Amino acid sequence: MSKSARREKVVAMAEAVSMVKDGMLISIGGNHSHEAPNAFSRELVKRGVKDLTVVPSNAAGYQIDILIGGGCVSTLYNSYCGLDYLGAAPNFRRFAESGKLRVIEFDEMGLLRGLKASAAGLAFYPMPDGFLGSDNWKANPDFYKVIPDPFTGKKVVVVPPIRPELYITHVPKCDVYGNAIEPGVLDDILHQAANHVILTTDEIVPIEYTQAHHTEVTIFGKFVDAIVKVPYGAHPGQCSGQYTHDDQHMREYQAAAEDEASFNGYLDRYVRGRTNDQYLEAVSIGRLVNLKYY
Amino acid sequence: MAATRHAKEYCPAEIMAAFLSRDMRDGEMGVFGAFSQIPWAACQLAQATHAPNLWFVCGPSAAINSKLPKLIWSVSDNRMHAGAEGRIALDRVMDMQGNPKFFDFGFYGGFQIDKFGNLNMAYIGNQQQPKFRGPGTVGTMATAWLNRVYLFTRAHTPRLFVDKVDFISGPGFIDGPKGRENAGCPARSEGPRYIVTPICVFDFDEETKRARLKSVHPGHTVEEVRSRTGFAPIIPSRVPETVPPNEEELAFLREFDPERILPQLC
């Protein structure tokens, strides 16, 4: 009997990013700008990927706005895109208002239930009573369909499965097989809804760590295709248990994204031609250390 | 509460938090979303005073009964889990939003609110190329059908308070007394209860379901509310002042907000 080794999934950033092709339907995690694969988004901008249709979580932030500003996105499934307490995500607003970005009008429950339908292999997922009172179903008739409830005959709104080709998110730590404890709010569903999964992680832990905390695992290695170790990979968002968000950098980003010229300046300073280490140096290592939780 | 001496110096967010807190009932459970420092402070204040059995869920961090000892800017921050009694991921929160045993009330705000308490978070103009692109509907549709909804705003302008919203994200009474029923509203849901702003509180007329001026915060006037509101609210002949925070409430709010975030909100 020959013995094969269990496959470890850690790859270089360049290899993981090359899995994203022009025109793909991809899903990107993160809760607001937190726990988001922000370094990965910067890599996609650097590489000039085009024409993506992007499915974010219920609440998108920097990780999506920088992709829009970087010219990578043609269509966005949108429940919310903003910068949390700082207000508007300026690229999202600018590109939507100029008609350059096609926005598919979701609410968070509709988006999430489409992803849940995908994870569970269902034909569609119903929305609760009262949904007809909001205007989303009128603004997005391709996704929200009104049908008679087969049991009561009442009108019910249903959403179809949403199955992205790829899901990318950032986790504080995972093992080499892709098991991760992600304290965010939705990754458990998002990673099961997509065909393939890439994790970026601040830390790689031994399998014994997973085994000692197995009841807390939210992302199952079974679904994970590739892992990239990226220190501060969620910066300028927070990474649970590791570092909090960088308020100063977020404000700098928000101000820069107000128009094309200043946003280009931001990309030149932090993104184009820069490795992640060079990005972190440009932010300043002293500031990063001060974001540490402990 | 024994103390009845009212504080003289307080900021708009503090009177708003005190007002909301007094309306919460012991034993209930509430939920709030992102950028909700005022509801969060109100929940903490209620727990510390008349409602020790209140429960609250911070949706963006999934924390139940956070005991983080101070307000922070992002309630999506995982530090909200400090001292929490549980974690409920967002899709389970949503499943529970249809269950009358779970959430008694929720909070939200947006960039347009109209006379029937409808809320717009999406856009103004043409969807494909809007005049104004807002962040999106997010959880407001689902929150609108909880047993009670509190709307809160950080500003009070005619652009925010409009006669009719351009898009309904969170349905209020929609188009009048039959609006919610026609949309298939669950019977348990009372709809929007109050709109709490930095200068006043609106409730809703029982018959017409139109916004009605309930009270004006000390230092503001009925005339000011009229001129700063883009719809015509029902204005009763006598409009009382909103009861300001008492000294005990204010002391709690100050201790809970050492970085003085509340005064920066409105």
Write out chain A residues lying below 8 Å of B62, CB-based: 185
pLDDT per residue as tens digits for the range A227-259: 999 999 999 999 998 999 999 999 999 999 999
The residue type of B81 is H
pLDDT per residue as tens digits for the range B247-263: 999 999 999 999 999 99
Q: Is the pLDDT of residue B107 over 90?
A: yes
pLDDT band at B210 (very low <50, low <70, confident <90, very high): very high
Q: Using a pLDDT cut of 70, give the percent of chain A over it.
A: 99
Q: How many domains does chain A have?
A: 1
Domain boundaries, given as residue ranges, for chain B: 12-265
Please report which residue ranges of B59-183 form alpha helices under DSSP H: 90-97, 140-143, 179-182
**Residue A216 resides in a domain:** yes
Domain that holds residue A267: 13-106+163-290
Q: Give the angle A69-A114-B166 at the CA atoms, nearest 5°.
A: 60
Peptide bond into A56 cis (omega under 30): no
Mean pLDDT within B219-238: 98
pLDDT for residue A180: 96
Write out chain A residues lying below 8 Å of B167, CB-based: 135, 139
The residue type of A211 is Q
pLDDT for residue A294: 56
The residue type of B199 is I
**Residue A148 resides in a domain:** no
Q: Mean of the per-residue pLDDT values for chain A?
A: 96
| CATH fold of B12-265 | Glutaconate Coenzyme A-transferase (3.40.1080)
Q: For residue B125, what is the nearest residue in chain A, using CA coordinates? A: A97
Nearest CA among A270, A284, A288 for reference residue A42: A270
Inter-chain contacts counted by CB atoms under 8 A, chains A and B: 171
Contact B144 A103 (CB under 8 A): no
Predicted-complex ipTM score: 0.95
Q: What is the DSSP letter of A262?
A: H
Minimal CA separation from A98 to chain B, in Å: 6
Q: What is the DSSP letter of A131?
A: G
**Residue A41 resides in a domain:** yes
| Spatial contact of A82 and A89, defined as CB atoms under 8 Å apart | yes
First to last CA, chain A: 49
- Cα-Cα-Cα-Cα dihedral of A212, B58, A113, A53, to 10°? -90
**Residue A115 resides in a domain:** no
User: What is the separation of C-alpha A76 from the centre of its chain, rounded to a whole number of angstroms?
Assistant: 12
Residue A126 main-chain phi, psi, to 5 deg: -75, 155
Q: How many whole angstroms separate alpha carbon B22 and alpha carbon A18? A: 56
pLDDT band at B89 (very low <50, low <70, confident <90, very high): confident
Other CB atoms within 10 Å distance of the CB of residue A230: 23
Mean pLDDT within B155-164: 98
**B121, B138, B174: best to mutate for the A interface, most A CBs within 10 A:** B138
Nearest CA among B197, B156, B202, B149 for reference residue B15: B197
Q: Is the pLDDT of residue B3 over 70?
A: no
Mean pLDDT within B182-190: 85
pLDDT for residue B85: 96
Nearest CA among A131, A184, A200 for reference residue B170: A131
pLDDT per residue as tens digits for the range A93-110: 999 999 999 999 999 999
pLDDT for residue B93: 87
Largest CA distance in chain A: 64
Which residues 200-259 of chain B have a CB within 8 Å of chain A?
A: none
Contact A85 B189 (CB under 8 A): no
Mean pLDDT within B168-183: 95
**Residue A215 resides in a domain:** yes
Q: How many whole angstroms separate alpha carbon A8 and alpha carbon A199? A: 13
Write out chain B residues lying below 8 Å of A135, CB-based: 122, 167-169
Q: How many whole angstroms separate alpha carbon B5 and alpha carbon B237? A: 28
The CATH number of the domain holding residue A231 is 3.40.1080.10
**Residue A64 resides in a domain:** yes
Tokens representing residue A49 in the block:
């990927």
pLDDT band at A185 (very low <50, low <70, confident <90, very high): confident
Q: Mean of the per-residue pLDDT values for chain B?
A: 94
Residue B78 main-chain phi, psi, to 5 deg: -65, -15
Q: How many whole angstroms separate alpha carbon A140 and alpha carbon B220? A: 42
A201 three-class SS: strand
Which residues 116-155 of chain B have a CB within 8 Å of chain A?
A: 121-123, 127-133, 135-142, 144-145
Q: Is the pLDDT of residue A2 over 90?
A: no
Which residues 59-118 of chain B have a CB within 8 Å of chain A?
A: 59-62, 73-74, 76-79, 81, 87, 89-91, 94, 97-98
Nearest CA among A88, A236, A245 for reference residue B74: A245
pLDDT for residue A195: 98
- Rg of chain A's alpha carbons, rounded to an integer? 19
Instruction: Indicate the burial class of A233 (C-beta count within 10 angstroms; 0-12, 13-18, 19 or more).
Output: buried
Q: Using a pLDDT cut of 70, give the percent of chain B over it.
A: 99
Q: Which H or E element spans position A16?
A: helix A13-17
**Residue A252 resides in a domain:** yes
